[in-house]
Each structure stands twice: as structure tokens, then as C-alpha cells.
Amino acid sequence: MYAARAQFPILSRSVNGKPLVYLDSAASAQKPRAVIDALTAAMEGSYANVHRGLHTLANETTEAFEAARESVARFLNAESPNNIVWTKGGTEAINLAAAGLGLSIQPGDEIIVSQMEHHSNIVPWHLLRERRGAVLKWIPVLDDGSLDMAAYAELLGPKTRIVAVTHMSNVLGTLNPVAEITRMAHSVGAKVLIDGCQGAVHGDADVQGIGCDFYAFTGHKLYGPTGIGALYGTTEALDALPPYQGGGEMIETVTEETVTYAKPPHRFEAGTPPILEAIGLGAAIDWLSQYDKAAITAHERGVYDHARARLDGVNWLKVIGEAEGKGAILTFTVEGAHAHDIAQVMDRYGVAVRAGLHCAEPLAKRFGLTSSARASFALYNTTEDADAFVDALIKAREFFA
């Protein structure tokens, strides 16, 4: 993956006089030259609004915009590009599905989420608890960071309407058995939404293989731009959803008396969409697709394992989440030091890690944490990065010892 790394211009810069070691990709990944060039080319050479224009630039931009939708469909193994709805990110994708599903929720209906969810896959369901009387049920997380599947089976019942779980935890790195979770939910008639913001990058995001009703992901963690994401839905699931927002593009006809709505996916894409961002995401997916996914996973895990091996036996470090088969995320606490302080000292050595609650407060509470630090590895990271991370971490620990 050294050749892939060379395609990220930002990774050649220095921070505080040290070579940049970027280990915050779970928050937002860096962008390859292919994405930067695609955005520049679209702005410099062929840009207009999409779908409704009849002139050359409108047609060219529409073709590029819809080609990006096709790239997403292939990437997720969706049945058709019409199963892909553009959103401004994973959060909006989940909110779109929740808003539509919520209209049929009755007081006492149950929604199952897990303790490891990102706030983006918690708060929309809390809104249905507040507004529709839904009851939230929580799948516990075991000490190793895996889901308690036996407890999940017990939670399922005749009142279960929705199951919403993450494909991969942004804190623990745990890759959940989403196909099994989906099968079990469908056995009681529940709809399933998978938060794929991490899983689409580091897991197997085969939506037909998973069998879920909805799969949400964001572009900026997938080496694409910010401000773009997508919601996959089965044809049946999208057909059943009412419009999310009103405006241009999402209609068939508008009169003074009535309005009729477009078919999915355009029914859910009111107004001018994130055109350039979608083109950039399409470029990111096309770029990423040239690499073997299994090879990427093996590389990322190898870098993680290298760092983990160097820290093995260190008595002042606590690693949070070591489930079997987990992704390359190393979340930790350091005895005698606040995570924020550790991150700031590591930054002096050019090493970028994240510190805080990682938008997962129920999970932090589960592990008794007020804060933790997180190093997240991507395809552009190397064993040299892992060594720099460990060296900086040891220096940070010595600073507070």
C-alpha cells in the first residue's frame, strides 16, 4: 500500500517539525489525488445544475453525477442505482430513514439499538421515543467489545419494529455480524438499518449479502469529500417511505390543489443536490476499487498488530475493545493522564490521534470512561507510522509520569 500512500498529497507535510502521522481516519480520512483532481476538473471544465437543463454543461454534469450513483451501487452491491439516495452524510441518511419509518411507529413499539452506537444512530431513535412513544431497547456490549448476541435474541419480540446497529464500531473496531443480526430481526418482522460509516470503509458492505432494509454511509471517511453520503434501501423499503423534504426535483407535478411525488431515489433528493461532492465520492470509490479489499484489510490489520505487539505487556496502558476479527482501531487510556493531554503531547511529535467520547457516550459509560484516545489506521498507514505512534505514546506517558 506504499504506492497508494504516495497518492495522498497531505501525507508529505510536516507537523510541529515532524513528519505527519495521521491516525484519525475514523473521524475523517484524507483525500487521494484522484478525488482532488475530479473535483477540480468538474469545477473548471464542466459544471452546471443537474437533470433539468438541456444544454451541454447540464447534460455532462448530470452524466457525471449519475455515474457516481452507479459507482456507489456497484460498491455496495445494490440491486440498482435507483436504490441509492444521495444525502449530505451518514447522519442525514439515518435521519431520513428514521423520519419515514417513524410515521408508522405507535406508542409501545420497540426499537433495538446497541450500546456501541455512534450518536448518529442513537439520537434519531430517541426522537421517535420522544415524539411517537417508541421504547428503546439496548443490546449489551461484552467485555471484549463484541455484542451480546444471546441478549439480542432475548430482546427481539412481537413489538420490535426497527433494529439499528453499526456495521463496525468507531470506538472498538468491532465488526458486527450484521447478516445474522438482520436475519434475526426479519424473523420477527422488524426493519433493519445498518450504520455503515465505518463498515463501508473497512468491512464487507455487500448489502444484498447482508440482507438489510437500509444501509447508511458517509463519503468523507471513504476518502471522498465532506457533505456527501448515501442511503441504500431495498426497492420495497424505499417505495414505502414518504418524502423527507419538499422542494424541487422530488416531485412529479405541483398544482394549487395537489402534489405528486417522484419515484425513489429522486423522491428523497429535494433541491439542488451536492453535485460536486457526489462526483468526488464517485471518484473516491472508483479509485479505491482498483485495490483488492482483502489486501487492504490485511494491510490495515498488519499495521494495527505491529503497534499492538510493541505495546504488549505495557502496564500503564488499557486497550478498549479486543473482539476477534476487529478492524484497525486502537482505543486506549493511559494511567495517570487524561486522554486529551495525551493527544496534545503526541501532536508535538506529528502524530494525530483523537481523544474524547467519540460521539458514543453510552459505550463510554459501559466501560466506565470519561474520555479515551483513539488511533485509527487506514490503507495509507505503514508500520513506520505504527512505530512513530508507539514512540510518541511512550514519550507522552513519560511526560505525565
Strand partners, 239: none
Look up 197 and say whether it is catalytic: no
- Output the CA torsion sign for 75, 81, 86, 92: negative
Which residue from 261, 244, 264 is spatially nearest to 253, judged by alpha carbons? 261
One-letter amino acid at 374 equals: R
Q: Are strands 14-15 and 18-19 parallel, antiparallel or unpaired?
A: antiparallel
- Catalytic residue selected from 210, 230, 303, 359: 359
Residue with cell 508529505: 12
What single DSSP character describes residue 312? T
| Pairing between β-strand 351-352 and β-strand 21-22 as defined by DSSP bridges | parallel
Determine contact, residues 136/285, Cβ cutoff 8 Å: no
Residues comprising the chain, all counted: 401
Q: Which residues pair with 18 in a beta bridge?
A: 15
Amino acid of residue 327: G
Torsion of CA 212, 214, 220, 223, to 10 degrees: 40
The DSSP string of 240-276 is: HPPPSS-SSSSEEEE-SS-EEEPPTTGGG--SS--HH
On the question of a cis peptide bond just before residue 265, with omega within 30 degrees of 0, the verdict is yes
| Torsion sign, CA atoms 352, 353, 356, 357 | positive
Residue 302 is given by DSSP the state H
* Positions marked active-site: 359
